[in-house]
């Protein structure tokens, strides 16, 4: 019995020791180690006056595959959405379409809202246009949208707009939808490059809608009422999203003493710390990065991902990162904090410290703007801070 109790106490003490030395960026537990063999040292980029630098930059990325499709205008940003729809129809109906024996009486597009950026009560309006050029959601970007190779008809094909907390809808030109059916039956009969939805100048919020998702029932769809020529029979056909993407035009700038990380646009920030004061043979126990939020200039939507992602830079000239190596920074009061132990070990072991890139926790499903206090922020104590606990042999 005594051996069991002693074993339990020894195990508990060992677990406490390991946790104290590795889970917190302090020198807690250093006095429990043999002072003749090793020493635990804490590096603090602020207290040790380590050099650091930061800046922000814009990187255009394709937003296809996002869980939301954004439409609207807010905070110097414009969100435009593109859709291609496809019907599920029987062989008999396909034959009617081939014979031009099926008329489209009316068609309605339905979108389910789940996100708002800006004042939820602000004006929201849009126009809908036929796209005249082909596009691929996996590669289509804001640059593609603004290029000469992309075009759409100037005529607004929407009417009867309805807006509620649970559903947005609008009627769309029946002849256009008939062309979609014809294209689906035989691509030589008609073209289907989809539609683009553009916010009007009066719009002052960005709304996010459920994007293509075959596993749920409230994704964007078209319901068309059709009638067979020579009969009074009417049927309702449903078209589902075949392809969708949104593009964000515009950007937000901040003063050089701050970093901006924004989803959708996309704005990222670079951050570097000089670690030359840490010995080459140091064993890194723990490293924590803290960056302080400028809450006055930051802006968030509803239901957003409240975190950041830090990526290891592999080429500081091109700002290339290792996409498979990242660490999350989570909100803690006024700061975002994260464990960068693996990054610091890599920098010291490989002698290759090229800094990190900080991105939004979710770059695709919103336009959240995280403004952080940078390396030249006037209040020294509020600049980014890297704390490292390491062990050295004396």
| Predicted confidence (pLDDT) per residue in 217-259, tens digit | 888 999 999 999 999 999 999 999 999 999 999 988 889 999 9
Same domain, 271 and 386: yes
Q: For the whole model, what pTM was predicted? A: 0.87
Same domain, 90 and 214: yes
Distance of alpha carbon 71 from alpha carbon 196, whole angstroms? 10
Same domain, 109 and 244: yes
Assigned domain for 13 exists: no
Q: What is the H or E stretch that residue 20 is in?
A: helix 2-22
Q: What is the H or E stretch that residue 175 is in?
A: helix 174-185
Same domain, 47 and 75: no
Assigned domain for 1 exists: no
Give the pLDDT of residue 35: 54
Same domain, 72 and 210: yes
CA distances, 134 to each of 114, 144, 184, 220, 245 (Å):
28, 11, 15, 20, 13
Where is the domain boundary, 219, 249, 279?
249
Where is the domain boundary, 203, 224, 249?
249
Q: How do residues 34-84 score in pLDDT, each as one tens digit?
A: 554 478 999 999 999 999 999 999 999 999 989 999 999 999 999 999 999
Same domain, 123 and 190: yes
Assigned domain for 290 exists: yes
The domain total for the chain is 2
Assigned domain for 126 exists: yes
| Residues 269/321, Cβ–Cβ less than 8 Å | no
% of the chain at pLDDT higher than 70: 90
Query: What's the token pair of residue 245?
Result: 């993407």
| Residues 198/80, Cβ–Cβ less than 8 Å | yes
Mean pLDDT of the chain: 90
List the domain range (segments joined by +) for residue 74: 68-249
Q: How do residues 282-322 score in pLDDT, each as one tens digit?
A: 999 999 999 999 999 999 999 899 999 999 999 999 999 99
């Amino acid at each position: 019995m005594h051996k069991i109790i002693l074993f339990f106490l020894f195990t508990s003490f060992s677990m406490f020791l390991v946790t104290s030395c590795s889970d917190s960026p302090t020198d807690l537990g250093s006095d429990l180690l043999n002072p003749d063999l090793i020493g635990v040292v804490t590096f603090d980029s602020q207290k040790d006056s380590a050099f650091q630098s930061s800046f922000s930059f814009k990187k255009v990325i394709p937003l296809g595959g996002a869980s939301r499709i954004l439409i609207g205008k807010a905070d110097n940003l414009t969100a435009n959405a593109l859709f291609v729809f496809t019907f599920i129809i029987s062989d008999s109906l396909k034959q009617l379409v081939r014979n031009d024996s099926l008329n489209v009486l009316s068609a309605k597009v339905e979108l389910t809202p789940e996100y708002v950026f800006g004042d939820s009560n602000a004006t929201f309006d849009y126009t809908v246009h036929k796209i005249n050029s082909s596009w691929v959601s996996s590669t289509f970007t804001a640059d593609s949208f603004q290029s000469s190779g992309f075009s759409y008809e100037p005529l607004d094909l929407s009417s009867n707009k309805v807006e509620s907390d649970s559903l947005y809808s609008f009627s769309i030109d029946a002849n256009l939808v008939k062309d979609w059916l014809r294209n689906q039956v035989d691509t030589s009969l008609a073209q289907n490059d989809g539609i683009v939805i553009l916010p009007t100048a009066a719009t002052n919020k960005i709304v996010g809608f459920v994007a293509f998702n075959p596993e749920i029932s409230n994704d964007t769809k078209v319901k068309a009422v059709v009638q067979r020529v020579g009969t009074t029979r009417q049927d309702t056909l449903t078209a589902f999203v075949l392809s969708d993407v949104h593009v964000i035009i515009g950007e937000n700038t901040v003063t050089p003493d701050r970093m901006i990380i924004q989803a959708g646009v996309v704005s990222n920030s670079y951050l570097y710390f000089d670690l030359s004061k840490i010995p080459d043979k140091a064993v890194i126990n723990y490293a924590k990065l803290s960056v302080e939020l400028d809450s006055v200039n930051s802006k968030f939507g509803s239901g957003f991902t409240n975190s950041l992602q830090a990526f290891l830079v592999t080429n500081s000239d091109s700002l290339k990162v290792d996409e498979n190596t990242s660490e999350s920074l989570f909100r803690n009061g006024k700061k975002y904090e994260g464990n960068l132990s693996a990054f610091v070990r890599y920098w010291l072991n490989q002698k290759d410290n090229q800094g990190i890139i900080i991105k939004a926790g979710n770059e695709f499903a919103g336009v959240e703007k995280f403004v952080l206090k940078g390396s030249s922020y006037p209040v020294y104590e509020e600049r980014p801070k890297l704390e490292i606990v390491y062990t050295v042999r004396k």
